[in-house]
Amino acid sequence: MEGKNFFRCFFFICSVLLITLFTIFNFPNPISSKVELLQCATNSAWCTSKNRILRHPTAASLPHDHTSDVPHHPLDPLTIIEMNKVHKVIKSLFENSAYAVHSLILEDPDKEVVLKWKKGDALPERKASVIARASGKNYLLTVGVESGEVVEHDTSHISGYPYVTLDDMQKVMSAPFASAHFNRTIVERGVDLNHVACLPFSPGWYGEAEDGRRLVKLECFNTEGTANFYMRPIEGIIVVTDIDTNEVVELVDKSKHIPIPKAAGTDYRLSAQNGPMIKLANPVSMEQPNGPNFVIEDEHLVKWANWEFHLRPDPRAGVMISRAKVLDMETGLFRNVMYQGFSSELFVPYMNPEEAWYFKTYMDAGEYGFGLQALALEPLNDCPRNAQYMDAVFAASDGTPYVRSNMICIFERYAGDTAWRHTESPVVVDKEIREARPKISLVVRMVASLANYDYVMDWEFHSDGLIHIKVSLTGIVIVKGTSYVNMNQVNQNEELYGTLLSDNIIGVVHDHYVNYYLDMDIDGSDNSFVNVHLQREYTKGKSPRKSYMKVNKTVAKTEKEAQIKLKLYDPSEFHVINPNKRTKVGNPVGYKVVPAGTAASLLDPEDPPQKRSSFTNNQIWVTRYNKSEQWAGGLFAYQSHGEDTLQVWSDRDRPIENTDIVLWYTLGFHHVPCQEDFPIMPTISSGFDLKPVNFFERNPVLRVAPYVENELPVCKAAVSS
Amino acid sequence: MEGKNFFRCFFFICSVLLITLFTIFNFPNPISSKVELLQCATNSAWCTSKNRILRHPTAASLPHDHTSDVPHHPLDPLTIIEMNKVHKVIKSLFENSAYAVHSLILEDPDKEVVLKWKKGDALPERKASVIARASGKNYLLTVGVESGEVVEHDTSHISGYPYVTLDDMQKVMSAPFASAHFNRTIVERGVDLNHVACLPFSPGWYGEAEDGRRLVKLECFNTEGTANFYMRPIEGIIVVTDIDTNEVVELVDKSKHIPIPKAAGTDYRLSAQNGPMIKLANPVSMEQPNGPNFVIEDEHLVKWANWEFHLRPDPRAGVMISRAKVLDMETGLFRNVMYQGFSSELFVPYMNPEEAWYFKTYMDAGEYGFGLQALALEPLNDCPRNAQYMDAVFAASDGTPYVRSNMICIFERYAGDTAWRHTESPVVVDKEIREARPKISLVVRMVASLANYDYVMDWEFHSDGLIHIKVSLTGIVIVKGTSYVNMNQVNQNEELYGTLLSDNIIGVVHDHYVNYYLDMDIDGSDNSFVNVHLQREYTKGKSPRKSYMKVNKTVAKTEKEAQIKLKLYDPSEFHVINPNKRTKVGNPVGYKVVPAGTAASLLDPEDPPQKRSSFTNNQIWVTRYNKSEQWAGGLFAYQSHGEDTLQVWSDRDRPIENTDIVLWYTLGFHHVPCQEDFPIMPTISSGFDLKPVNFFERNPVLRVAPYVENELPVCKAAVSS
């Protein structure tokens, strides 16, 4: 039996790995540990120090060695040294019995402490926030890094589990092969067990029957002949498995008649292409030969043009921007814009109610860790040549740190657009006036690869004070096997739940939602949210015009007044203002949120996935600042019931006028797949802006200098091109 | 009297100019004519051959001499030689009596003729479409370029006038100074008559009283001390003038108590800045040292990557894209996507019903000529260093041609983004897979400066088959004078109709709408429009899920079924498909229109400006192809009543299934000005996509090569930086 051999082989490899890991952890080799951290020979296959590029292409510096990092800023992430200290505390806490660390990150000091802190001051006490599981219980702990003091927070009232660890995922992937039924059905479907990969998908939550154990639903693929096994689903098999015990709880085994789609034409890798490549002879490159105009001070403080912000990787959110401040040219002072901003939760419901598909309603940040799934970026192609990179230090499931290198890139962008321009008519002025200024921005990028899908997450800072937040979707569409090879075989009334993309492959309709947490602090923490309503007003005979559009401003008093559904024919602008600070002519200073293309969830509000991801009920929300309310889908999103969500917090209807408030924005995409998405999809993007509105006294980029020919780089084509 | 002197002086200068022009036109100097055409010493101050840059920075070619241009393609614009021939015909037609040419352009051959034509074939008969006025009548003429044959088309059933000519505008600007009342009120307001510029604004149309004569409403500004006279309105004066007679019909003279805002701080020119400039030490540049990857064959046929299209400047639309075809890598054949696309009309209603403001409801393409107002682009700053430029040849109001140089730029863009990418988890595959491909596109850009506002109009072609159409707004917000200098002076119930931007300056609320004509021909002319409706569907107990989103496709039978208002909570995709052609798996080939941020008009549908610009009643329209239906606001938009509009054509409700159809898209912006818009506004953008949907068998950019370090340009910093 090939299946049995595969299983034996797999078990053997796993055992060797476990023994190796055990040896490394328990008998650390002080000489080699530095090298291992960087070379990822240690505790995680997800460590990606390979292929690191140098800090700056023109500098001859080595990759940064994180082993001796020390924190410089209250919001700097935990260092390797600090994590190791916390690790010891956790180990002793659980008395060396079985435990898993799901999250080990800095516990941010209280906001007022951070706001008071100045460079040169001693750092506030360093604390770790730890989410762990032991003996079937969730633990939320605060651990003093130096003191070792542990405070346990009661989370017994919150349903769900923390995101799965990478170890959880690796381990559970082998579970199906322990089932004789599973191995038999695979073989009966004509698939070689050596070419089967089962991927762990979160099960959502569909009622109390699913409570009490951590479950995962594995779906399996034929990996033969392609790196793009996603295009070769073994349709109808769902292996419901207990993550903690690795026990197969249920094996759904349907749709045997559906063939496995062929491998031919599915591989997207460069090495797999046989036909001619599309190549433009003269590459266009973003060039900046003397290096960038930004500096990253003390590893995390980014300073560029008129912006300054703290940037850190986070295993759950991915990129975390804090203390974003912009320089006011009029006063020479930096002004607060945003205390903290990050992607808080995702929701990706697939629109197929059948047994093998209904549960696919992913909450990627809370179920998998959005940052945890962000691997090393590919220099030159993920980010342009002038990019610099930032590493992350994350904790493995035993609590030990490892380095995720090149997780974030930072680069300046000039895309050929203007910051502003004007030509004056030569009819009016004596000589032609033609003034134009180049638009240059700073991009912070991370790419999370959630199994098949890739989310390119950009924060783009503009020198006019605008922050553009963009999500780009690419990667691979998850597909469903079908017996059809042509639409003429499909009965008109039959529902496919998607588009026939290729022989035997249906791209299933789905949505993507990304919710952003945006703790705006416009010139201070006490802010208000204003609905600037645009309404038709009738002139009632007082003008040759019948009507015009009038602006009516309303300050939201409580959270429910700030639950906003966007309406094209009943539009508003949405401003976060500081009612205590006005410009010289008396307008309150503010920022507005400017939506672009978005989508709203069409699921029933009482449908379990919609309740869990109820942050998609509105596009905009505003809540009263509460340090514990960060994750729009709940702290423990995995198998959560939806009682710890943005909707629930907002429904408390707390006062939000002239106080510390948080803006939440939900971006959405409906995705009806098309053949162009096969076998890998061209990038689609959407985003929104945070834009100054009467924040500055005047156009802050009026004095940007134009480009002049003799100041631009001197370039020649590469010899090889 | 300073005013009188000014007037005398002005009149003298005008007379000299007129005599000079008359001499030049009637006694052409054959030796100098070439030079004059390029140096703009001839017939139009709007000719912008100055500051031309070379075709290619590395080539030592001279600016293109258009005097001997010949057409190569049925859609090539009329050449100077051809225009001169038509000019002669027109002159003799009107027997040398007074006439004005408002438009003299190629009359496109019939679509079937163009579709049949192949390179090497003789060109179909060249004809000019001429719009002229003589003896108070509009003429729409077809003139055979070689035959001199003239066909007059009856337009007596259409209200309105053709767009004003540049001569109309120049001439009428002096009209107010002939009014003693005007000169007196200016002086009484403390303004030096030598520093007054009156700009001609279209009056809209507000009832029959305004019929029978071509009117313009002049608004005046104090030009002293700033190039940005728009910030110094002489509020409350409106000089209603007859364009044909230059007679002041009515002088509105109100708001004398409102001071003229100060000049200080309003000038945006580089030369006017005294403070420190914002300058990034290391410029980021888009570099392509060996030149671009596109060619422009025969002056108008653009070929880049997998795209080919015909590009020509048009005095009304600006940029006209025709015969856009994309290469299918699977077959090696070019496939039709769009027969023709251009911006058809604009609508910019200001939201103030007061006497000096209510009429400001501009239709810039039809009233002023959107292309006519597009001046020369500023190399390096309007378009990046790697851009190439295209000139226009337009007709002056006597029918003679002149060259508008550098009106359009074309460049390849790499903005640091990916065409697609994927990282495969190292848990599943033996070694890390990380594939990313750079996104490179081709941008065609024009900038129209409609007095104060600048519209950057981009057509961006992507190699995945997507066309992104983008409008960026910048330039100067038109403002209203006020006696207020602080919001604390304003009574809570008082309507400002805008935002106090600076001392004595209110930025008035307004909208911008741009309507695009998109004659999609997906693999042929017979297409259908499909509403791909996304609806909530209940599972009725058949699934643990309560609901999902179902796709319901409906083919629109007639035009009214394709009058589409976008709805966030009742969403659809909108596809133009070829029902006669299917992919291998049987999906009809198509393109979809993908809206991004937009706005809908809030004016009453029966309000005169809304009726005239009723193309803003919906975001999407589809009409049956009709060669004469090109301008969504009507052929003669100036003072039109709204009976020759897209709404009227669509309301005929003609069949649109499986026939030649035109898609129309209206993009919108609400603009509540803010202080950052003073004294010149940072660029804001919105756009929409035409995106292949089951048009290709698979991802057409799968085989795009990644960037490789040693193939990128070799650059060093400029010596001066």
Please spell the DSSP secondary structure of A586-641, one letter per residue. Answer: SPEEEEEEEE-S-----S-TTSHHHHHTGGGG-SEEEEE--TT---TT-SS-BT--
Both tokens of residue A347? 């929701």
With beta carbons less than 8 A apart as the criterion, state whether A215 and A638 touch.
Answer: no
Partners of A455 on chain B (C-beta within 8 Å) are none
Residues 6+ apart with CB under 8 A from A494: none
Chain A contact probe: residue of B194, B337, B449, B585 with most A CBs at under 10 A = B585
User: Which of the four pLDDT bands, split at 50, 70 and 90, describes residue B5?
Assistant: low
Question: In the beta sheet, which residues pair with residue A691?
Answer: A592
Phi-psi region of B564 (alpha: psi -120 to 50; beta: other; left: phi over 0): beta
> Does the pLDDT of residue B213 top 70, yes or no?
yes
CA distance linking residue B476 with residue B455, whole number of Å: 11
Angle at alpha carbon of residue B129, lines to B127 and B130, rounded to 5°? 130
Instruction: Give pLDDT, residue B148.
Output: 98
Provide the pLDDT confidence category of residue B64 given band limits of 50, 70 and 90: confident
Q: Which residue of A has its CA nearest to B454?
A: A422
pLDDT one-digit tens code per residue, B267-317 = 999 999 988 888 888 999 999 998 999 999 999 999 999 999 999 999 999
Is there a domain that residue B598 lies in?
yes
- Segments in chain A below pLDDT 50: 1-3, 16, 19-45, 48-61, 721
What is the model's pLDDT at position A393? 96
A residues 383-402 lying closer than 8 A (beta carbon) to B: 383-387
Report pLDDT for B34.
43
The residue segments making up the domain with residue A689 are 295-422+435-476+510-671+680-705
Number of independent structural domains in chain A: 1
**Complex ipTM value:** 0.93
pLDDT at A630: 98
pLDDT for B20 equals 46
DSSP state of A354: S
* Cβ within 8 Å, pair A378-B435: yes
B424 touches chain A (CB under 8 A): yes
Compute the nearest-CA separation of A42 from chain B (Å).
14
> Is B209 part of a structural domain of the chain?
no
B453 classed as catalytic: yes
Contacts of A181 (CB under 8 A, 6+ apart): A251, A253
Residue B350 lies in a domain: yes
A323 vs chain B: nearest CA distance in angstroms? 22
With beta carbons less than 8 A apart as the criterion, state whether B577 and B525 touch: no
Identify which of B633, B159, B291, B57 has the alpha carbon closest to the alpha carbon of residue A717. B291
Question: What's the pLDDT score for residue B624?
Answer: 98
Q: Which residues of A77-94 are buried (b: 16+ CB within 10 A; e: fewer)?
A: bbbbebbbbbbebbbebb
Catalytic residue at A391? no
Q: What is the pLDDT of residue A175?
A: 97
pLDDT at B37 over 60: no
Integer Cα distance of A166 and B605 in angstroms: 59
Spatial CB neighbours of A267, under 8 Å, sequence gap ≥ 6: A225, A226, A227, A228, A679
Which residues 206-235 of chain B have a CB within 8 Å of chain A? 206-207, 223, 227, 229
Determine the Cα–Cα distance for residues A174 and A613; give it in Å rounded to an integer.
30
How high is the pLDDT of residue B7? 55
* B654-709 confidence digits (pLDDT tens): 999 999 999 999 999 999 999 999 999 999 999 999 999 999 999 999 999 999 99
pLDDT given for residue A407 in this prediction: 97
Q: Among the listed ranges A559-563, B37-41, B82-86, B386-390, which one has the minimum average pLDDT value?
A: B37-41
Separation between Cα atoms, residue A642 and residue A204, nearest integer Å: 11
* Inter-chain CB proximity B420 and A285 less than 8 Å: no
- pLDDT given at position B429: 72
Exposure of B52 in the CB half-sphere (CA atoms within 13 A) = 26
Among the partner residues B166, B293, B548, nearest to A280 by beta-carbon distance: B293
Q: Is A118 exposed, middle or buried (0-12, 13-18, 19+ CB in 10 A)?
A: exposed
Sign (positive or negative) of CA dihedral A674, A680, A684, A685 = positive
Among A282, A509, A678, the residue to mutate for chain B (most B Cβ within 10 A): A282
Phi-psi map region of A642: left, alpha, beta (phi>0 left; psi -120 to 50 alpha):
left
What pLDDT is stored for residue B706 in this prediction? 96
Given A197, A598, A718, which is nearest B714 (Cβ)?
A: A718
DSSP B401-456: EEEEEEEEEEEEEEEEEEEEEEEE-TTTSSS-EEEEEEEEEEEEEEEEEETTEEEE
Both tokens assigned to B144: 């055979």
Query: If DSSP codes are grouped into helix, strand and coil, which group holds residue B48?
Result: coil
Backbone angles phi, psi at B596, to 5 degrees: -120, -150
Name the residue type at position B221.
F
Number of H helices, E strands in chain A: 9, 32
- Indicate the burial class of B112 (C-beta count within 10 angstroms; 0-12, 13-18, 19 or more): exposed
Distance of alpha carbon A305 from alpha carbon B281, whole angstroms: 10
User: What's the average model confidence in pLDDT over B215-225?
Assistant: 97
How does pLDDT run across B118-174, given as a tens digit for each residue? 999 999 999 999 999 999 999 999 999 999 999 999 999 999 999 999 999 999 999
Q: Is B402 domain-assigned?
A: no
DSSP string, B578-643: EEEEE-TTSPEEEEEEEE-S-----S-TTSHHHHHTGGGG-SEEEEE--TT---TT-SS-BT--SS
Measured torsion, CA atoms of residues B354, B357, B358, B361, in degrees rounded to the nearest 10: -160
CATH number for position B645:
2.70.98.20
Measured distance CA(A335)–CA(A349) in Å, rounded: 40
Cα(A473)–Cα(B44) distance, rounded to whole angstroms? 50
Cβ distance A711 to B718 less than 8 Å, yes or no, reads: yes
Out of B402, B453, B455, B517, the active site residue is B453
The confidence score (pLDDT) of residue B277 equals 84
CA atoms of A80 and A243, how far apart (whole Å): 28
In this predicted structure, what is the pLDDT of residue B61? 43
Task: Find the mean pLDDT for residues B515-539.
Answer: 98
Contact across the interface for B500 and A170, Cβ inside 8 Å:
no
In a domain, B150, yes or no: no
Nearest CA in chain B to A437: B381
Extended strands (E) in B291-371: 295-297, 301-304, 307-314, 318-328, 333-349, 361-362
Digit-coded pLDDT (tens) for B326-341: 999 899 999 999 999 9
Strand ranges inside A223-258, DSSP E: 237-242, 248-253
Cβ contact B278:A305 at 8 Å: yes
B189: Cβ–Cβ under 8 A, 6 or more apart, which residues?
A: B234, B256, B260
pLDDT at position A4: 53
Residue contact A716–B439, C-beta within 8 A: no
Tokens representing A119 are 């460079």
Place of tokens 């509403």: B531
Contact A29, A42 (CB under 8 A): no
Which residue has 């767009």 as its token pair? B163
pLDDT higher than threshold 70 for residue B367 = yes
Q: What's the first-to-final CA gap in chain B, in angstroms?
A: 54
Averaged pLDDT, B416-438: 89
Instruction: Catalogue the E-assigned strands of A350-452.
Output: 361-362, 388-395, 401-424, 433-450
> What is the residue-averaged pLDDT of chain B?
92
* Vertex B412: Cα angle to B410 and B416 (nearest 5): 145
Percentage of residues in chain A with pLDDT exceeding 90?
A: 87
The answer, for B107 touching chain A at a CB cutoff of 8 Å, is: no
Q: What is the pLDDT of residue A10?
A: 54
State the maximum Cα–Cα separation within chain B, in Å, rounded to a whole number.
Answer: 91
Are B420 and A535 an interchain contact pair (Cβ–Cβ within 8 Å)?
no
* Residues, chain B: 721
In a domain, B19, yes or no: no
Asked if residue A374 is part of any domain, the answer here is: yes
- Residue type, position A89, single letter: V
Q: Do A682 and B420 touch (CB under 8 A)?
A: yes
